[in-house]
Amino acid sequence: MPVDKNDILLVDDTLGNLRLLSTLLGEQGYKTRKVTNGALALKAVKHAPPRLILLDVMMPGLSGYEVCQQLKADPATAEIPVIFISALDDVFDKVQAFAVGGVDYITKPFQVEEVLARIDHQLVIRNLQRELQEKNNSLQAAVEQFDRLLLNILPKSIADHLRQQDFSVIKDHPIAESFKQATILFADIVGFTEVSAQMPALEIVDLLNRIFSCFDQLAEHHGLEKIKTIGDAYMVAAGIPIPSADHADAIARMALDMQQAIQTFQRDSAHPFQLRIGINTGPVVAGVIGIKKFSYDLWGDTVNVASRMESQGVPGKIQVTETTYQLLKGHYQFEERGVVQVKGKGEMMTYFLTRNF
């Protein structure tokens, strides 16, 4: 691997050693800076961290050991390789040099070939470490991006569960939970099909994106779980995947806020859009199935009835079932719609949620 010949800081109180090392390294293509004591070395490193330091041990003021200790104590300079170069050749001196963070130790008088070989070796290691760190950073960024995408698709508790295992296990072991009580909301944009038939495709997508992004913000504000969008229909739930006692109340507040929000989006210059909203409460099954393009979804009679409340509702109204009404009465105002023939269920008593107290 080619060596990155960035600058090397030479620290020695003997000017002859500095000139000799600077000349030898310069002939090999290295850039060098020279200082004659430890205090100047610390100042030079702070000003512009070098790629490597050749550091004498015995100097006036701070010793090479003390300089190295200070460098290693600072996270900004701790990774700079320090090679000690000294006339001290006792084993204790060498042990102390490694103890304070040195990566190598060269004894004076030195051989030119030895100095160059050891510098090249340490710079190769340094370059490999930097490349590895860059790859680790890229990998970490990719993992974080994957996590963000996963959380945009699935509830956090489900995403956390999937992170701990191979996604392929869903094929044989689908993720599913039963909930005794949850409240489901379906909303449909009234007349959107007719309006979209007269709009370019990009304008349709842009409009839906702005509307549903607004609803997404409301769902997050109320602590709800967006389930999916189908065309111009929006589905959101409360009480799943984490059960909550106020699931019906949270959905009611969401529905009222949605009705206000949709008025800011215009069908034309004189007519804002309207929503047809349906709500129902009851037991549901929630989970993730399939092995491709999987998503978190809900099943059960409660979901079907909530859908019917929307499809057989009234533009601009929030239609709720008797079950949801019983949970909310006393906290919200309602209009009794009366008995409605609901497809697949027969006659059902329904109400229009109008406002909270």
- Does 43 qualify as catalytic in the annotation? no
DSSP classification of residue 272: B
Element housing 106 (H / E): strand 104-107
What is the spatial distance between Cα 198 and Cα 182, in angstroms, rounded to a whole number?
Answer: 38
Choice among 34, 51, 253, 308 that is catalytic:
308
What is the spatial distance between Cα 147 and Cα 333, in angstroms, rounded to a whole number?
Answer: 41
Count how many Cα atoms sit within 13 Å of the Cα of residue 276 in the half-sphere of its side chain.
Answer: 17
Q: Say whether 252 sits in a helix, a strand or coil.
A: helix
- Does 135 qualify as catalytic in the annotation? no
Residues 184/235, Cβ–Cβ less than 8 Å = yes
Choice among 130, 210, 343, 345 that is catalytic:
343
What is the spatial distance between Cα 8 and Cα 80, in angstroms, rounded to a whole number?
Answer: 10
Preceding peptide of 283 cis, ω within 30°: no
Interior angle at CA 110, CA 20 and CA 22, nearest 5: 20
Alpha-helical runs (H) found in the chain: 15-27, 38-47, 64-73, 91-99, 112-153, 156-163, 192-196, 201-221, 247-262, 301-311, 322-328
Active site residues: 308, 343
